[in-house]
A = this chain, B = another copy of it.
Amino acid sequence: MTERHKVVIIGGGFGGLYAAQSLRRAPVEVTLVDRRNFHLFQPLLYQVATGELSPSEVASPLRHILHRSSNTRVLLAEAADLDPRRRRLRLKDGEELPYDTLVVAAGSQNHYFGNHSWERYAPGLKTIEDATWIRHKILYAFEAAERETDPARRRSWLTFVIVGGGPTGVELAGALGEIANDVLKSDFRSIRPEESQILLVEAGDRLLDAYDAKLSRAAEKALIGLGVRARLGTRVTAIDDQGITVQAAPGAGRIESRTVIWAAGVKGSAFGGVIAERTGAERDRGGRIIVTEDCSVPGYPEIFVIGDLANYRDETGKSLPGVAAVAMQQGRYVAGVIGKRLKGERAGRFHYCDKGSLAVIGRAEAVAQFGRFRFEGYVAWLLWLFVHLMYLVSFQNRLLVFIRWAYDYFTYSRGARLITGPIEEQGEATAPVRDVVEAGELGKRNT
């Protein structure tokens, strides 16, 4: 028996998982390496942050998803280095994995454009820990406001700032608007949650700039109905534990807020740096690897980079967006290329089939864009529900999420409103816990 072709995949997100699944019947030996034991359905992560869903409802164990793929092994490990000449991937614990083909689908991370200190005050929304930490911050802000007697400080607890008017920012702002206006309505005695101020700060001149201008306006209008104010043309120049400083058309300004959430940008994950260094591949300003027309690294046809970490330019020279659909299609595509190469066939270039974009704003409110068609309101919302339920990997999660949504729709409630982890004391800095979680490190009190 000759040794099988070894495929190593880094990352169990949409790109890596779809690649592994598509290789299920190929005569190859697949190893999927991920730092986490689960696949995360990132499009619904904002609902974990706002207490609508539980972490386990938007995540499924990778082992379980792949347990019938007998040619696939899942390793809970972190990729640390690469030797492209010897074709070996080194893991953080020192183990070396030999490969014949490497698929890098390591995803993206929050991008603060060099302002590292902002991260501790304005968490982004990339991981389960980010989401539970944001949930903690949001719910704790209402609790702190309930106990605060000083009006200015209370106001600052009840002011929520979301930086970035893309789909994540819009969806978070809408969900926050619903919490403040409906969900928490009768829960407090000293404050009225509906008096919260929710600000969506965007540097550009409209929300959802990847969408049609008509839909941007519809989204803004729907957000106003939920009590969310969009501050367009407003650039953030500083973030600290008491609020943000902005630069807008009339001049600089200050917004006092204890809860700032970052949705303004992502960049390629750190492993992109290793690839660039070891293969000489070029990276764009967002740290993404510029790949060839078959998603491989120039000069290394056996190394593919897909998903959020890749900058793929289509026939017109335009870079594809960092969305789940691109990653899925690239995952399936490289699986096909690997299969063809084993048969000695040549593969054509990758083609992205844009099936459209969807963003939900609130109860029965969404915007959608499919080719020449644009929808808003109820129809777009139903489409959104349907598409998101269908793409959830596990059937059990599909069922549970459906029930949560139906229940919450009819009762205006949110079931997953737990503040877990260390309880933040009023006035104490919020950063250290996040540092621990983000860095994946173990800790002890440092104050």
A-side residues, CB < 8 A to B, are 35-38, 54-57, 59-61, 63-64, 67-68, 73, 75-78, 92-93, 95, 128-129, 132, 139-140, 143, 146-147, 184, 186-190, 394, 396-397, 399-400, 403-404, 407, 411, 413, 415-426, 428-429, 432-433, 435-437, 439-447
Contact = CB atoms under 8 A, between A and B. Distances in A.
Given A56-B415, A443-B446, 20 more contacts: A35-B423, A37-B139, A56-B416, A63-B184, A73-B189, A76-B143, A128-B420, A132-B420, A396-B411, A396-B415, A399-B403, A400-B404, A400-B415, A422-B436, A429-B442, A433-B436, A433-B443, A435-B444, A442-B446, A444-B445
Contacts of A55: 54, 418, 420
Which of A93, A399, A424, A436 has the largest count of B CB atoms less than 10 A from its CB? A436
Contacts of A186: 67-68
Contact of A445 (B189, B400, B443): B443
B418 A37 contact: yes
Given A37-B139, A68-B186, A73-B189, A432 B404 contact: no
Contacts of A188: 63
Contact of A187 (B64, B413, B417): B64
The 4 closest A-B pairs by CB, nearest first: A443-B443, A56-B416, A432-B442, A444-B446
A417 B447 contact: no
Contacts of A415: 56, 60, 394, 396-397, 400
A397 to B, nearest CB: 7
Given A76-B423, A129-B421, A415-B396, A445 B441 contact: yes
Contacts of A420: 55, 128-129, 132
Contacts of A435: 444
Nearest to A91: B147
A395 to B, nearest CB: 8
A419 B38 contact: yes
A59 B418 contact: yes
Contacts of A67: 186-187
A431 B139 CA distance: 28
30 contacts: A37-B418, A38-B418, A54-B54, A54-B57, A54-B416, A61-B417, A61-B418, A63-B184, A63-B188, A64-B187, A64-B413, A64-B417, A67-B186, A67-B187, A68-B186, A75-B147, A76-B143, A76-B423, A93-B426, A95-B147, A129-B421, A422-B437, A432-B443, A433-B442, A436-B442, A441-B444, A442-B445, A443-B445, A444-B445, A444-B446
Contacts of A446: 442-444
A22 B29 CA distance: 63
A195 to B, nearest CB: 17
B404 A421 contact: no
Contacts of A64: 187, 413, 417
A407 B396 contact: yes
Contacts of A426: 93
A433 B397 CA distance: 29
Contacts of A411: 396
Nearest to A36: B419
A439 B67 CA distance: 38
Contacts of A189: 73
A435 B190 CA distance: 34
A422 B436 CA distance: 8
B404 A396 contact: yes
Contact of A54 (B56, B417, B428, B440): B56
Nearest to A187: B63
Contacts of A190: 73
A95 to B, nearest CB: 8
Nearest to A416: B56
